Amino acid sequence: MSGTGITARASEPRELAGNRGGARATSSPVWMASAFLVSLVVAAIVLATFGAGEHGTSQALRATARWCFVLFWPAYAGGALARFGGPRFAIFARHGRDFGLAFAAALAVHVALVLWHLHVTGEPAFSMLFFWAGVFATYALALLSLPRLHDLLGPRLWRIGCELALQYIALVFADDFILEPLQAAGPDKYPLSYLPFVILLVGGAVLRLAAQLRRRPAVCG
């Protein structure tokens, strides 16, 4: 999601869902602050190394996009992975909301870099509507994960909205990791550094689909 490119009851969606446990609720700010700081430090190191011009900002965007994806993937596929992988992967389901909110926090630094990149290059912001819709989906999902808003929606609407938002965010990452590099370099020169992220993204989508096909309650994570 470079721009150049959460757990509830068993019957409720897992990513960014409204956790009601006090200890879990108090852990989310720590996850968010840590994710934001890591993203900020990564961006600062890259910009200090390559400069704050177009090239340095592009490098910082790539680095923060990968960090954001590392946080997004457990929120996206962790619940399904726990379903098929058993107790050893239960941590992903338990902390799905934490991962999702950490992703939203880390994304703030990435968004700031996107805005700076647009300023440096002079590109219009509306040229990235696909990306901005992904940002909107991320923060809408984070906001609606608040227990009171989550309860107002009800489990059915939450599952639908959660699934649509997560799949759209995954599409934004697919555009960043697959389509844009292919368009820029062609299949013969596709950067191999993208492959681990592509494998995780496709694998996560397959896990989610398999979990949806065999769901007992619906899984949103």
pLDDT at 5: 52
pLDDT at 11 > cutoff 60: no
Q: What are the structural domain ranges in the chain?
A: 22-213
Residues 190, 173: Cα–Cα separation, whole Å: 16
Residues 126, 193: Cα–Cα separation, whole Å: 29
Q: Phi, psi at residue 102, to the nearest 5°?
A: -65, -40
pLDDT at 19 > cutoff 50: no
CB-facing half-sphere around the CA of 130: CA atoms within 13 A: 16
CA neighbor of 109 nearest in space, from 166, 157, 154, 67: 67
Residues 199, 196: Cα–Cα separation, whole Å: 5
Residues in the chain: 221
Among the residue ranges 95-109, 140-154, 191-205, the one predicted with the least confidence is: 140-154
Residue type, 113: L
Among the residue ranges 1-10, 123-132, 182-191, the one predicted with the least confidence is: 1-10
Across 35-44, 86-95, 177-186, which has the greatest mean pLDDT? Answer: 35-44
Q: Which two structure tokens, joined as six digits, stand for 90?
A: 């239960």
148-184 burial, b if ≥16 CB within 10 A, otherwise e? eebeeeebeebbebbbebbebbbbbbbbbbbeebeee
pLDDT-derived band at 12, boundaries 50, 70, 90: very low
What would the DSSP string read from start to end of 63-86? HHHHHHHHHHHHHHHHHHHHHHH-
pLDDT at 130 > cutoff 50: yes
Q: How many helices (H) and strands (E) does the chain have?
A: 8, 0
Report the 10 Å Cβ neighbour count for 141.
28
pLDDT at 129: 95
pLDDT at 40 > cutoff 50: yes
pLDDT at 209 > cutoff 50: yes
Where do we find the tokens 């990235």? Answer: 128
pLDDT at 64 > cutoff 90: yes
Where do we find the tokens 């808003």? Answer: 149
CA neighbor of 112 nearest in space, from 167, 35, 36: 36
pLDDT at 13: 42
pLDDT at 165 > cutoff 70: yes
Mean pLDDT (whole number) for 163-170:
95
User: Is 39:67 a contact under the CB 8 Å cutoff?
Assistant: yes
Look up residue 125 and give its DSSP letter. Answer: G
